[in-house]
Amino acid sequence: MSTSPPPLPPDDEMRGIFRTMTLIRRFEERAADEYMAGRIGGFLHLAIGEEAAIVGTVCALRPDDPLTSTYREHGQALARGSDPRAIMAELLGRSTGLCGGRGGSMHLMDISRSFYGGYGIVGGAVPLAVGLAWAARYRGGDQVAVTMFGEGAANQGVVSECFNMAGLWDLPIVFLIVNNQYGMGTSAKDAAATEDFFPRAAAYGIEAWKVDGMDVLAVRTAVSEAARIARDEGRAACVELLTYRYKGHSMSDPDTTRSAEEKDRWRARDPLITFERVLLGEGVMDAEAIAAMRAEVDQVVDDAAAFAEQSPEVPVSEVARNVYAYPWNDDPRGSALVSP
Ligand SMILES: Cc1ncc(C[n+]2csc(CCOP(=O)(O)OP(=O)(O)O)c2C)c(N)n1
C-alpha cells in the first residue's frame, strides 16, 4: 500500500483553511478579553489549540451535513460561516445575537447552516446527531450527520448507546472524538480505562481510527474518508482527533494542574504555526499575504466586538421567549413568571 501523503488541497482552499483557523483564534482571544471586561456572563469555554480539529472537519463536509458540537463550539459556528457579529453578540447576551441573545456562548446554533448547536450537557448532542442521521435517511437525503464531542463525553453511557444504534442501523453518521486529553481538570489517563477511545466505536462494528488532531490536513483527509464511508457506503464511521486545549476548561478555571512543560510541548505543534509553514513552503502564501490576511481578520473581530457592545441587551421581559411551546406573550402562565 502506498504511504505517500494525499495531494494538497487547491491553493484557494488552503488559504481559506488558514484564514478560518486564524479567525477562530483571534475571535476567541477577543472573547476572553470581553469576558475579563465583564461583558460576557456565565461560562466561556475556549477551543484555542483545537483549531485544526474544527476547521479540518468542517472543510471536509458538505454545508448541508448536519453538525453538532459541545459548549466549546464558537469555532464550529465560525467555520460554518455564521456571522462573527451575531456570534459575538450572542456571547454578550445581546438581542442581535445568533440565537437572539438567549443561548449565549454554550448554545450557538445556526440551522440555516445545518449547525445544530452547542450543548451544555456532556454527551448530550451525540444522540441528537444519531437522530439527524436517521432523519436524513428517512427523508431520502444523502447528508451525513457529524458530531464532535470530547474524550470525557466518550465515557458517558449515552455515547455507547449511540455507537450501538449507529452500528446496528448502519446510519450515515461520523462520530468525532475530540481528544484534548482533559475533562475539566482531570487527565484522561485518570478517567478512562484505555488510552485510545476510538476502539469503543469499533466494538460496535463501526470503522474507527485515530489521527493527529493538530494537523489540519490530516484531519481533513480523515474526516473526508469518514464522510465518504457514511455517505457512499451508508454506514457509520468514527475518528479520534488527538489535540490539546491551551486554556483551562473555561475562563473560570485557573488551570493550575497542568505543567508548563506539557503546555509548551503542545504549543510547539501549534496548528496555525505548522500550517503557516506549509503555506510558505509550498508557495501558497508569502509573508506579506499572511500579514494582510491577519490584518483583515483583526478588522472582522474588532467589528464584531464593536457591533456586539453597541447592541441592545435582551429585555428581561423577553428572556424566556421560545422556552415554552405557547407564544410567550400570549401565555398567561409564562407572563406570570416574569411580571414584576
Ligand atoms: C452530563 C454532564 N455531566 C457533567 C457536566 C460537567 N462538565 C462540563 S464539561 C465536563 C468535562 C467534559 O470533558 P470532555 O468531554 O473531554 O470535553 P472538553 O471540555 O475537554 O472539550 C464536565 C464533567 C456536564 N456539563 N454534563
pLDDT at 6: 83
Distance, CA of 68 to CA of 49 (rounded, Å): 19
Q: What is the mean pLDDT of residues 320-330?
A: 62
pLDDT at 338: 46
CA of 2 relative to ligand 1 center, distance in Å? 40
Q: What is the mean pLDDT of residues 266-272?
A: 98
Please tell me the CATH code under which domain 11-338 is placed: 3.40.50.970
CA of 146 relative to ligand 1 center, distance in Å? 19
Confidence of residue 121 (pLDDT cuts 50, 70, 90): very high
Q: What angle do CA 117, 121, 123 make, to 5 degrees?
A: 85
CA of 52 relative to ligand 1 center, distance in Å? 21
Confidence of residue 92 (pLDDT cuts 50, 70, 90): very high
Percentage of the residues of the chain whose pLDDT score is greater than 70: 94
Is residue 286 pLDDT above 50, yes or no? yes
Question: Quick one: which of 316, 302, 254, 314 has its CA closest to 34?
Answer: 302
- Residue ID of nearest Cα to ligand 1 atom 7: 122
Query: pTM of this prediction?
Result: 0.95
Contacts for 106-111 with beta carbons within 8 Å, 24 or more apart? 106/42, 106/43, 106/45, 106/71, 106/73, 107/71, 108/73, 108/74, 108/76, 108/77, 108/82, 110/77, 110/80, 110/82
Confidence of residue 231 (pLDDT cuts 50, 70, 90): very high
Q: Which residues pair with 146 in a beta bridge?
A: 67, 174
- 249: cell is 476548561
Q: What is the pLDDT of residues 100-111, one digit of tens each?
A: 998 999 999 999
pLDDT at 327: 54
Distance, CA of 290 to CA of 286 (rounded, Å): 6
Q: What angle do CA 118, 180, 176 make, to 5 degrees?
A: 55
> Within 13 Å, how many C-alpha atoms sit on residue 110's CB side?
22
CA of 120 relative to ligand 1 center, distance in Å? 8
Query: What residues does each domain of the chain span?
Result: 11-338
Q: Give the CA distances from residue 156 to residues 51, 81, 162, in Å, rounded to whole numbers and listed in that order.
A: 24, 30, 10
- 270: cell is 501549534
Instruction: Give 37's contacts (C-beta < 8 A, 6+ positions apart).
Output: none
Pairing of β 67-68 and β 186-187: unpaired
Confidence of residue 4 (pLDDT cuts 50, 70, 90): confident
Q: What is the mean pLDDT of residues 236-258?
A: 97
- Pick from 184, 255, 258 the residue to mutate for probing ligand 1's pocket: most ligand atoms within 8 Å of its CB: 184
pLDDT at 331: 52
Q: List pocket residues of ligand 1, CB cut-off 6 Å.
A: 70, 72, 120-122, 150-153, 180, 182-184, 249
Distance, CA of 216 to CA of 54 (rounded, Å): 8
Q: Are 78 and 98 in contact (CB under 8 A)?
A: no
Instruction: Round the average pLDDT of the chain to a whole number and report it.
Output: 94
Q: How many CB atoms lie within 10 A of CB 127?
A: 16
pLDDT at 291: 98
- Better pLDDT: 229 or 321: 229
| Residue 211, φ and ψ in degrees, nearest 5 | -135, 170
pLDDT at 339: 44
Question: Quick one: which of 297, 309, 323 has its CA closest to 40?
Answer: 309
